[in-house]
Amino acid sequence: MKFNLKIWRQKNAQAAGKMVDYTIENINADMSFLEMMDVLNEQLIRKGDEPVAFDHDCREGICGMCSMHINGRPHGPLRGTTTCQLYMRNFTDGETIFIEPFRANSFPIIRDLVVDRSAFDRIMQVGGFVSVNTGQVQDANNIPVNKADADLAMDAASCIGCGACVAACKNASASLFVSAKISQYALLPQGRIEAQERVLAMVNQMDEEGFGSCTNTGACEAECPKGISLTNIARMNREYYVASIS
Amino acid sequence: MNKKSGTKSLFSTLIGKKMLMGLTGLFLITFLVVHCGINALIFFNDGGELFNKGAEFMGTNLLIRTMEIVLFLGIIAHIVDALLLTLSNNKTRIVKYAHQKPNANSKWYSRWMGLLGTLILMFLIIHLKHFWVISRFTDHIAHSELDKLPGQETMFAEMKEIFENPMVVLLYVAAMVSLAYHLMHGFQSAFQTMGWNHPKYTPAIKKIGFWFSIIIPFVFALMPIALHLGIIK
């Protein structure tokens, strides 16, 4: 297969970037999108050009590292997939593909397609955990957990923190990410103890990091590779106002 | 984890501001029901007798007059809050995407609430000038045909006169289309923002919101059309 690529190139955070055109040929339809990028980079290196910097790690859809805004959508045209799970057979031969970094002021570009998503880490640092005192681990069955709640908590916990929600949102809101993290704890008895302090701290930090507000367009849910539900945002808001008035 | 001290007050965070948006929006929705209900009295086609009674009640009842002030405060809060949120949201992505497919993941009217709201506001100013200013600040409106003084008109007659102009009818209908789309997102969105989300009730809220946003603007739009075409005399 042959593709015309338009890729965002930017030397560093300070430099101005621009879209650069590349043509790539002899691409196997069963290559993943990242493998296609690898082939492009090998060609660039052979020519003596700078390879395109992009994030990737596990390449099996669970680490949340690969980003990229492909043809106008985070992680490309398929629903419920990360970029590493996107295959070239999902594109047509000769197609022009736009490849951009996830864009948000809170995700500053480090280089080319690599963005700094440490704003998410800072939100987690203020409350995305359960404080555990040292000592013997107690028996898991000592704390009964409703199966329905356990399932919802597990669904929320499947968020891989990739930032596609922010990239898709017209306001670059981090509500889906933050609400998933708040929900995964709020739904379980172990997390309930610090639930109020957690929601106040994390919502506060989300604003501090410069993410926008949630307009309930649902773009985040539609683009989330893990199918995190908007109901988490409703839960976060509920938790938030109860915590702030109590 | 730190205790709650030092955290911001509810309405200073973005979620708080969105909640103000949702609450004022829901309040304005209840106003629409009352307004639409009273105005729909013209459909009795009794020469506006019942409608004029309704208009008199709305203009003289103390509770309604008090709620009128609350209503204006609600509208102002909804607008100012929307402006604040829009201004802060405009700063979150300075470098835009070169290529974007927003229709792939969201409805256009959910992304254009600000524009739809601005259109509604523009209509609202004209609409207030047409009816509210005349009825509250001038002696032009009589309570009924019987106690009409020379130079006075009833609210119903005033309505018929204004809707003689086809451009005005067109403007009102266009405004109701904007309102329909604004509500189509706003109704269910307000519930979501308030966290009133439940597997049992949310589908019903969405369904009610959908039909509400079609029926109310439709009934409203029918009024200038019916008066203009002389279906209601």
pLDDT 10s digits, A50-61: 999 999 999 999
CB-based contact (8 Å) between A155 and chain B?
no
- Nearest alpha carbon to residue A130 among A195, A199, A174: A195
Cβ-nearest to B13 among A207, A212, A239? A207
What distance in Å separates the CA atoms of residue A244 and residue A19, rounded to the nearest whole number? 45
Q: Is A3 helix (H, G, I), strand (E, B) or coil?
A: strand
- Interatomic CA distance for residues B185 and B108, integer angstroms: 10
Query: Which chain A residue is nearest to residue B88, measuring alpha carbons?
Result: A212
A125 touches chain B (CB under 8 A): no
Nearest chain B CA: its distance from A135 CA (Å):
19
Distance between first and last Cα of chain A: 60
Closest by CA position to A119, among listed A169, A163, A62: A163
Residue B141 pLDDT: 87
Nearest to A200 among B4, B17, B100 (CB): B4
What is the least distance, in Å, from the CA of A52 to any CA of chain B? 18
Q: Which helix (H) or strand (E) holds A99?
A: strand A96-100
Task: Give residue A25's identity as a one-letter amino acid code.
Answer: E
> What is the C-alpha R_g of chain B?
21
Report residue A109: phi and psi, to 5°. -75, 130
Kindly state whether A215 is in contact with chain B, defined as any CB-CB distance less than 8 angstroms: yes
For A148, the token pair is 């329905």
Phi and psi at residue A23, to the nearest 5°: -120, 135
Chain A residues closer than 8 Å to B100 by CB: 69, 72-73
Q: Does A218 touch chain B (CB under 8 A)?
A: yes
Considering only alpha carbons, which residue of chain A is nearest residue B103?
A: A219
Task: Decide the pairing of beta strands A3-9 and A18-24.
Answer: antiparallel
**CB A97, CB A4: distance < 8 Å:** yes
Burial class (CB in 10 A: 0-12, 13-18, 19+), A17: middle
- Residue B71 CA to residue A97 CA, distance in Å, equals 51
Q: Buried b vs exposed e over B27-56: b needs ≥16 C-beta within 10 Å?
A: bbbeebeeebebbbbbeeeeebebbbebbb
CA A237 to mean position of chain CA atoms: 21
Q: What is the pLDDT of residue A48?
A: 97
* A206 three-state secondary structure: helix
User: Considering only CB atoms, which chain B residues are within 8 Å of A215?
Assistant: 89, 110-111, 113, 189
Q: How far apart are CA A46 and CA A49, in angstroms?
A: 7
> For residues A120 and A177, is the Cβ–Cβ distance under 8 A?
yes
Closest Cα partner for A240 from A209, A210, A213?
A213
The pair of structure tokens assigned to A157 is 């916990």
Distance CA B93, CA A172 (A): 7
Do B64 and B77 meet the contact criterion of CB atoms below 8 Å apart?
Answer: no
Residue type, B228: H
Stated as kind and residue range, the H or E segment containing A30 is: none
Residue A15, both tokens: 């430099």
Cβ–Cβ contact A238 with B under 8 A: yes
List of residues 6+ apart from B167 with CB closer than 8 A? none
Residue B14 C-beta-side C-alpha neighbours within 13 Å: 27
**Inter-chain touch B85–A213, beta carbons under 8 Å:** yes
Q: What tokens were used for A175?
A: 């509500």
**Is the Cβ pair A234, B185 closer than 8 Å?**
no
CA A57, CA A77: separation in Å to the nearest integer?
A: 21
Using an 8 Å Cβ cutoff, are B32 and B216 in contact?
Answer: yes
Q: Mark which residues 14-33 of A lie under 8 Å from B by CB.
A: 17, 19
Burial class (CB in 10 A: 0-12, 13-18, 19+), A43: middle
Q: Does the pLDDT at position A95 exceed 80?
A: yes
Which residue ranges of chain B lie beneath pLDDT 70? Answer: 1-7
Q: Is the distance from CB of B105 to CB of A219 less than 8 angstroms?
A: yes
Local confidence band at A216 (pLDDT 50, 70, 90 cut-offs)? very high
β-strands A96-100, A114-115 pairing: unpaired
Q: Is the pLDDT of residue A4 over 90?
A: yes
Contact A105/B at CB under 8 A: yes
Q: Which domains does chain A have, with CATH numbers?
A: 3-111 (3.10.20.30), 117-245 (1.10.1060.10)
CA distance A96 to B127: 49
| Site from B7, B11, B15 to mutate, A interface, most A CB atoms within 10 angstroms | B15
Is ipTM over 0.90?
A: yes
Nearest-by-Cβ selection for B104 from A73, A200, A216: A73
**Rounded average pLDDT over A219-241:** 97
Per-residue pLDDT tens digits for A113-169: 999 999 999 999 999 999 877 778 778 788 899 999 999 999 999 999 999 999 999
Residues on chain B touching A194 (C-beta within 8 angstroms): 1
A240 near B CB under 8 A: yes
Instruction: Give the model confidence (pLDDT) of B156-174 as tens digits.
Output: 999 999 999 999 999 999 9
Tell me the HSE value of A181 on the side-chain side, using a 13 A CA sphere.
26
Q: Which of B1, B88, B199 sits opposite A201 (nearest CB)?
A: B1
Say how far apart CA B52 and CA B54 lie, in whole Å.
5
